[in-house]
Amino acid sequence: MKIHQQNIKNICKIREFYTFDGLPESEKRWLEKYYSRHIESLYHDIYANLTDPSVEKITSDLKMKILIYIISQELRTTKLPMH
């Protein structure tokens, strides 16, 4: 396997991607705050359950968290057309 080196500035982030310029300052980053509270907060529970050797069954609740997390990661990309 070949490892490609990249400058983190090229892959890390797009500045202000979730900022809505037309909104008041206190509301400009509502989407970023939503992801932080409702999506990114799921990661630790998902990871803990999937890597715990004592977990033999994945519950419906965990399945839903996994789906929400994966779908949201796909939707928060610049690859989607901006219409």
Asked, for residue 80, whether it belongs to a domain, the answer is: no
pTM of the entire structure?
0.66
- The domain tally of the chain equals 1
Range of the domain at 37: 18-75
In angstroms, rounded to a whole number, what is the distance separating the alpha carbons of residues 63 and 46? 9
Terminal CA-CA length for the chain: 38
In angstroms, rounded to a whole number, what is the distance separating the alpha carbons of residues 82 and 51? 36
Asked, for residue 55, whether it belongs to a domain, the answer is: yes
Asked, for residue 45, whether it belongs to a domain, the answer is: yes
Q: What is the pLDDT of residue 11?
A: 60
Q: What is the pLDDT of residue 56?
A: 95
Per-residue pLDDT of the chain (83 residues; tens, 9 = 90+): 787 776 666 665 666 677 788 888 888 888 888 888 989 999 999 999 999 999 999 999 999 999 999 998 888 776 665 55
Asked, for residue 8, whether it belongs to a domain, the answer is: no
Q: Which of 77, 40, 45 is nearest to 62 (CA)?
A: 45
Asked, for residue 23, whether it belongs to a domain, the answer is: yes
Asked, for residue 10, whether it belongs to a domain, the answer is: no
Q: Which of 37, 40, 62, 41 is nearest to 51 (CA)?
A: 62
